[in-house]
Amino acid sequence: MTLSRRTLILSSAAVAVALAAAAAVLRPFGGPPRRTLTAAEKQSCSLTVEAVEGPYWVSGMGELPDGNLNVKGLAGVTVEVSGHVYDGASGTTAIPNAEVEIWHADSSGSYHPNGNGPATGYKPEELALRGFVKTNAAGEYRFTTIYPGEYTGRARHFHFKIRAPGKPELTTQLIVPARPGDTLTFDTDDIAEGLPNCQQLVVDESTTLARASFDFRI
Ligand SMILES: [Fe+2]
């Protein structure tokens, strides 16, 4: 039996689709497989636990002016997130000049863009709620943005990549507590199954500016 060129192309395409589907099952967002933490692991807050990158990371984003992630002025409730980057689990050795990269969905749950790849592949107006800040001499970082919105299957969350000299890059997420009317919470978000409770932010809304803090231990 001979195969026509068209049949071969279609067969190759079918195999590629099948392989992609298999990979998606094993690694749904291109990251490490998730697992549910034990009760003890859920309660502990040691080295920051990795979480999947997801499909919306854009590489090559720049440093944020004044730590403002929302330079495009998208609508939403402003929140400030701050903390430290520490070397090791003890939280005593600060890492100066570490990069804390953040990206997240807007208030309605859309990323800007709803895609990935290099930043150079997008028009400047297509890019928002993305960029990095650096830690100071005391290992502190700080940025302001708006609350991320929830989207299909995901509670509100921030994505991070933490980069520091001599350390493997850490990709992770912090979950934002559900707000009134939300359908998903830390306990019903399947990515959060693989995160300790401390990776849900505690937000102080008692003052005009909502604030949350988190120390990354890498
Ligand atoms: Fe996400």
Residues making up the chain, counted from first to last: 218
Distance 149 CA to ligand 1 centre (A): 9
Rounded to whole angstroms, how far apart are CA atoms 24 and 81?
32
Residue 85: pLDDT over 90? yes
Least confident of 28-37, 94-103, 209-218: 28-37
Q: What percent of the chain is predicted at pLDDT more than 90?
A: 80
Distance 58 CA to ligand 1 centre (A): 12
Q: Which CATH number describes the domain made up of 35-217?
A: 2.60.130.10
Rounded to whole angstroms, how far apart are CA atoms 54 and 152?
13
User: Per-residue pLDDT averaged across 68-93, rounded?
Assistant: 97
Report the chain's mean pLDDT, rounded to a whole number.
88
What residue type is assigned to position 103 of the chain?
A: W
Distance 124 CA to ligand 1 centre (A): 21
pTM recorded for the entire structure: 0.85
Q: What is the pLDDT of residue 23?
A: 41
Distance 146 CA to ligand 1 centre (A): 14
Residue 24: pLDDT over 50? no
Question: What is the residue extent of each domain of the chain?
Answer: 1-30, 35-217
User: Per-residue pLDDT averaged across 84-108, rounded?
Assistant: 97
Distance 125 CA to ligand 1 centre (A): 20
Q: Which residues contact 164 (CB under 8 A, 6 or more apart)?
A: 85, 87, 95, 97, 98, 99, 218
Number of H helices, E strands in the chain: 2, 11
What tokens were used for 160? Answer: 């991070």
Q: What is the pLDDT of residue 21?
A: 43
Q: What is the pLDDT of residue 34?
A: 59
What tokens were used for 2? Answer: 């001979």
- Tens of pLDDT, residue by residue over 154-193, are 999 999 999 999 999 999 999 999 999 999 999 999 899 9
Residue 106: pLDDT over 90? yes
Rounded to whole angstroms, how far apart are CA atoms 59 and 214?
23
Distance 113 CA to ligand 1 centre (A): 12
User: Per-residue pLDDT averaged across 24-50, rounded?
Assistant: 72
User: Per-residue pLDDT averaged across 4-10, rounded?
Assistant: 47
Helix, coil or strand: residue 135: coil
Reported as a pLDDT band with limits 50, 70 and 90, residue 147 is very high
Q: What is the pLDDT of residue 32?
A: 52
Rounded to whole angstroms, how far apart are CA atoms 134 and 144?
13
Residue 88: pLDDT over 70? yes
Distance 66 CA to ligand 1 centre (A): 24
Q: What is the pLDDT of residue 65?
A: 83
- Tens of pLDDT, residue by residue over 52-74, are 999 999 999 999 989 999 999 99
